Amino acid sequence: MTGPFRLANEVDTTGFGDTGMRLGDLDGDGELEAVFFQARDCHIPRMSAGGYRHEKQVHCVTAMKLDGDVMWQEGAPLGTGHWAMHEVGAAVSDIDGDGKQEIVYVTERDGRSYLRILEGDRGYFRKEVETGPNCVLQLCDIRGLGARRDILVSTFVNPIYIYADDLTCLWNCHFYGGAGHSHDFHDIDGDGKEEAFIGYCCVRADGLKVWWRPDLEPHLEEMTRAPHVDHLHVHDIDDDGRPELLMVAGKDLVVLDAATGEDRFIFEGTHIQTCAVGKFLPDMEGQQLFVTERRLHGDQAHIGFRGYLVDCKGNEIWRMEKAGYGRTLRLAGSEADVIFAECQGKKPTLIDGHGKIIQELDMPLHTYAEDRFDDGDTGVRALFEIADTNGDGKLELLGYNRTRLWHWVQD
């Protein structure tokens, strides 16, 4: 199916590619490069990682131009064997404010976890510090520097650590109710320091709670382990100037006032795992939410990756079976956002605000691990980044797995 995107390039990354990739301008030329993190999940579930296998050792980091030219490589590639890797805690950013990009990631060595920084242009080792169990890394600004130069490290549940750009520990082994797969940050009181939204808690820069909502646990994903929130997003969805917290709670979508924690609405589901916010229908009030259900853990049958478009007050506009996880994308010259959707067993699609498929990308099917659902990716699926890599103002799609990088552009 033709559409706004065309495949501009396909690069063979066999030997060093993986389903952990980040983008950044490593050499300062104004264009983005790709950084691949080749890593292997822990072979057993660990209590320190909430019962997951997600602690991992990063074996190789490779920086590459988008045309396939390898800039540098740190470590020994894993090659083409079979292993599981479920995401990686990593970021590419100017973490120390010197005008150059650094590579920041968490790895395991001899049973211990380390937070490590490499120079972006050459891959040279900068520094590292021992940290707690790993698989999540996010940047924030709890010191009020005006840029996200603080580094949060956690598992897919608790505990939480935050480090300054020189790897001084700011938060050491904090625990917060409902802590889950990702967090969000926003300065809600105007003091220049971002508050952290973790689980069902809003937390000040000093680690103390602004508010917390343990009564929301029935809406969280439980999975016979710790109740936890899958994802959190801070957005002003009704355009009133006051941000809301979108708690993708794992069972339901819970929307709260970000500053006070007061209820806005609850969109009930079974295993709601993602939520994309955008102006998909420009004539409607506020923003719209594209919400996707995955399935119940332990069940053999999928819910179907059902997608819902929901208005800013929690009312369902339409639903689509087997829609997939969605992300927001604005096409060049358009006044409306579209949904970029990825679904197991289907090719990635672009969906407009009325639920119409406007393009299907011609590439291998999006699939998961073949052995067990929760063992992490074994290199057979493709993940995507959405970015303007050359500064022309047009967003591009970059799909990648262990053997390929696909680069889709708008004309």
pLDDT in tens, 221-246: 765 667 889 899 999 999 999 999 99
pLDDT given for residue 353 in this prediction:
98
- When pLDDT is averaged across residues 199-211 and rounded to a whole number, the result is 96
CA pair distance 211, 262, nearest whole angstrom? 9
Residue tagged 């549940």 (tokens): 157
In 3D, which of 45, 38, 30, 31 has the Cα closest to residue 13?
38
* pLDDT-wise least confident of 23-32, 95-104, 222-231: 222-231
Share of the chain above pLDDT 70, in %: 89
Distance CA 156, CA 143 (A): 24
Question: 198: which strand partners?
Answer: 201
Tens digits of residue pLDDT in 241-266 = 999 999 998 889 999 999 999 999 99
d(CA 193, CA 65): 35
Residues β-bridged to residue 233: 246
**DSSP-derived secondary structure letter, 116:** E
The total number of residues shown for the chain amounts to 411
Q: In what order do the strands lie in the sheet with 396-400?
A: 5-12, 404-410, 396-400, 383-387
Residue 93 has pLDDT above 80, yes or no: yes
Q: How many CB atoms lie within 10 A of CB 184?
A: 20
Mean pLDDT value across residues 59-84: 90
Q: How far apart are alpha carbons 180 and 301 in whole angstroms?
A: 24
pLDDT (mean) for 136-149 = 97
Mean pLDDT across the stretch 96-117? Answer: 91
159 upstream amide cis, omega within 30 of 0: yes
Instruction: Assign 119 a pLDDT band (cuts: 50, 70, 90).
Output: very high
What pLDDT, on a 0 to 100 scale, did the predictor assign at position 135? 80
Average pLDDT over residues 91-108: 95
Q: Report the distance separating Cα 282 and Cα 394, nearest Å.
A: 20
Mean pLDDT of the chain: 89
